[in-house]
Chains A and B, each alone.
Chain A
Amino acid sequence: MKPVLRKILAGSALLATAGTVAAEGIAPKDVADMLHAVMDSDRTIYTKMVVQRLQNEHKVIKASEFFKDEKALPLPAQMFRFGAEMVADKTDLFSYSLLSLWPINKQNSPRTEMEKEGMQYVLDNPGENFYGEEELGGTTYFTAVYPDIAVAEACVACHNAHKDSPKTDFKLGDTVGSVVIRIPVE
C-alpha cells in the first residue's frame, strides 16, 4: 500500500474509532492538491503582502536574489525553494519543486519525461493540473504538476528583467512555471 495512504488510513481509522470520521483514506491526488493549496497560498501571501507591498508599493526594502549580501528580502521563488529544501530535510513522504519552461537557473528546467509532459499540459490547458505516475531511482512516484501563475507585478518585473531569463514578455496572470509535487507510492 502507498506509504502516505497507509498513514492517512491509520489516522482515519483512529478518528473513526472516536466516532468523528469514517473514511477509506485520502487519494494521492487529493493529498497533492491539499499540499499545493498550502504552498500556493503561503507564497501568494508572501509575494503580495511582503514583497509587492514593501518593495513595489511602500519602497522600504528591496527583494533580491542576493538577499544576504544586499540585506534584502528573499525572492518569493527563493522562499518557496527554501521551504522545499527544509521539507526534504524533514521527510521523504513527499517532495516538491518549482520549475519552468523558461527557467532563470537552467537547473530548474523540466528533466523527467513526466515533468516535460505535465508542464506543457498545464501551459496548454489553463486552469487544469496534470497528474501521473513515474519511476525515478527505482521508486514509483505519484506526480502532480500545477501551473505557477504570475500573481503580482513583482513576479513579472523580475522575470522579464533578469539577465538569465529566456522569456522577457511575461504579463500578470501568465503561467511562468510549474509546481511539481511527488508522493512515493509502491
Chain B
Amino acid sequence: MAGTRNTALWIVWLALTLAAGGSFGALIFVGGPRNFLLIGKTTGAHHQFELACETCHTSGFFEDAAKIDKAMNKACLACHEDELKVSNDSHPVKKFRDPRNADRRQQLDALFCTTCHMEHVPEITRPVAVTLPMDYCSACHKAVGEERPSHAGLAFNTCAAAGCHNFHDNTALYEDFLAKNVDMADIIERPIVRLAAISRAPHPVLAARENHDPVAALRAYLMDTRRDAPEFETDAVEMLARVLEAGDAVAPAEFLTRDTVAAWAGSGHALGGVNCAGCHTLEHAKERDTAILAANWIAEPGIEICRSCHKEEARTFVLGRHGMRLHPEISEPRQAPKNALLKIVAAVFRDEALWPISVADARLEMKPEAAHLEIGNCNTCHKPHDADIRAAAVDACAGCHNDPHTRTYFSSPHYQLWQTELAGGAPGSGVSCADCHMPKLEARGHFFTTHNQNAYLRPNEKMIRPVCMHCHGLAFAMDALADPALVENNFNGRPSRHVESIDWAVKRARKTE
C-alpha cells in the first residue's frame, strides 16, 4: 500500500513539476504576464512598457554579450536619437571611438547608453536616469582645475549638479553663449512668445475675411509669418476658397446637431476646409452621399486620422510620456506558435497588447477623479470641434495632474499672465502649461507644437533656450531652474541661488577682450 501511495505521490510531484516548469518556460518563451521577471523597478518613463520586454531586449536569448550591448544601444536610439541631435550632443559616441581615448573608455565606456543609464536598478538611479557615481566627468576632465583656475577645488559631483554643465545638452550653457547673453534683463521688455502669439491670434482666415481686401490681408499675414517663400498670393486665394461655413457641413443627419455644427463652423478645421468626413471617415473626405458616410462613419476619430494633417504633433506625441505606448518601436505582443498543437497548449499563455496609458497608471501625483481617463486619442485633451484651442493648454493638464508644481501654477505670475491673455490680452503674452512643456518649434519654415513633453523637461536647462529665454534673461532663467524649491512652487518668487558659471564666463571673456 505504501509503495502505491509513494508511486502516486511521485507521479503527482512529477506532474506538478512538469506543469510548473512548462508554465515557467511558456511565460518566458511563448507569452503571458512576465512581471515576475522584472528584476527591479523601471524608471519613470520606461515603466509604461516594461512588460513589452522586446522593445529594449531585442537580442536572442543566447546572443553574444557584445552584440547584446550593441542591439540594446540601437533600441535606445530608436526613441532617443532625435533628442541627441536636437541637443547638439556634447559627448556623441563618435568622440569616444578614437583609439587615443581607449584608456578613457576603460574608465567610462561612453559608446553605450547603458554605461550611464542602466534600467531596473532603482537603488542607484539618480535624476535623469543616471546610474553612475557622480564622478564620471573626472574620467576625462580631471585636470580642468589646472586649465581653469575658477574650477580648481570644485567638488567632483558639482559639474552637472550645480546648473553649469550637462553631459549631452549644453546648448544654453556653453561659455560664449553665457557671455553673450549675460546682460539680458530678468524679464525682457514686453514679453511675448512669438510662435504662441501667431498660434493664438484670431484665425488668419477669419481676420482676413473681415478686411475689405481679404486676399491682400491674408497675403500680408503669410508674408509676415512664413519663412519658406511660398506663393503668397496663390496660397491666400486658395486658403480663402477653402473656408467652410455651418451650411456646408455634410454628415449623416443624426450627427448634425446644432451645437456641434456651430462649434465646428468657427474652428480651424472648418476654416481650413475640413468637412465632417475629413475626420469621421478614413477615405471619404470629399463624399457628399450621407448614406456612404453613415456606412463608413467613425464616431471617435483616433490619432491615426489626426496624424494625416498634424504630422509633427502626432510624431512627437508618441515620443513623449502621454503617447509612448503608441510608439512604433514598442514591441508587439509575442506571436502565437504556428504549430497547431502548441497553439492549443499555449492558448492561455498570450501577451496582452499595450492599451493607452491611463491616469491611474501614472506614477506622478494625479487627481483621483481622473483615474479612469486614457490618453490614446488626441481628443482626450483637445476639443476638435471648438474654435478655442486654449483649453488643451491648461485645463486639460490640470484636469489630471495634481503635483505641487501644477497646483501652485494657479497662484503664479505665469497664470496671472495667462488669465490676462484669456481676458483679451495680447496673444502670446500669457504663459500656459503647454507654453513651457510643449513649446512651439520651427521646422522648415513652419512651426508646430511639440507633443513630446519630455523633450524639454530634464535636465531642466534644456528649457532655457526654447522656452524661458522668450521672456527671461539667461542668468535669471539659469538661477530659477537651479532652485528646486522655486520650481516646485511654480516660480512664485525669485531665485534663491545663483549659478556662477555665467560670471566666470564673462570674466574670462572680458580678460581676453
Contact = CB atoms under 8 A, between A and B. Distances in A.
B94 A89 contact: yes
Contacts of B88: 68
A139 B102 CA distance: 10
Interface residues of A, number: 26
A92 to B, nearest CB: 7
Contacts of A95: 97-99
Interface string B94-116: 11011111110110000000000
B105 A137 contact: yes
B512 interface: yes
A111 B512 contact: no
B105 to A, nearest CB: 7
Nearest to B511: A163
A60 to B, nearest CB: 20
Given A66-B176, A68-B88, A163-B512, A107 B98 contact: no
A97 B140 CA distance: 17
Nearest to B101: A111
A137 B104 CA distance: 10
**Chief secondary structure at chain A's binding surface:** mixed
Contacts of B97: 88-89, 92, 95
B220 interface: no
A180 B97 CA distance: 15
A115 B147 CA distance: 21
A11 B313 CA distance: 50
A106 B147 contact: yes
A85 B99 contact: no
B195 to A, nearest CB: 19
Give the dominant DSSP class at B's interface.
Answer: helix
A139 B147 contact: no
B100 A111 contact: yes
A97 B100 contact: yes
Contacts of A89: 94, 97
Interface in A116-161: 136-139, 141
Contacts of B105: 137
B410 interface: no
A112 B100 contact: yes
A159 B88 CA distance: 24
Q: Which of A97, A136, A184 has the most CB of B within 10 A?
A: A136
A86 B512 CA distance: 34
Contact of B106 (A111, A137, A141, A182): A137
B98 A86 contact: no
A69 interface: yes
A137 B99 CA distance: 7
Nearest to B88: A68
Nearest to B97: A88
A168 B377 CA distance: 61
B277 to A, nearest CB: 44
A68 B99 CA distance: 28
Interface string B160-198: 000000000000001011000000000000000000000
A34 to B, nearest CB: 20
B241 interface: no
B39 to A, nearest CB: 31
Contacts of B95: 85
Contacts of B425: none
Interface of A: 65-66, 68-69, 84-86, 88-89, 92, 95, 97, 106-107, 111-112, 115, 136-139, 141, 163, 180, 182, 184
19 contacts: A66-B176, A69-B177, A85-B94, A88-B97, A88-B98, A89-B94, A89-B97, A92-B97, A95-B97, A95-B98, A111-B101, A112-B100, A136-B100, A136-B103, A137-B102, A137-B105, A139-B99, A163-B508, A163-B509
Given A136-B99, A136-B103, A139-B102, 6 more contacts: A89-B94, A106-B147, A111-B100, A111-B101, A137-B105, A141-B99
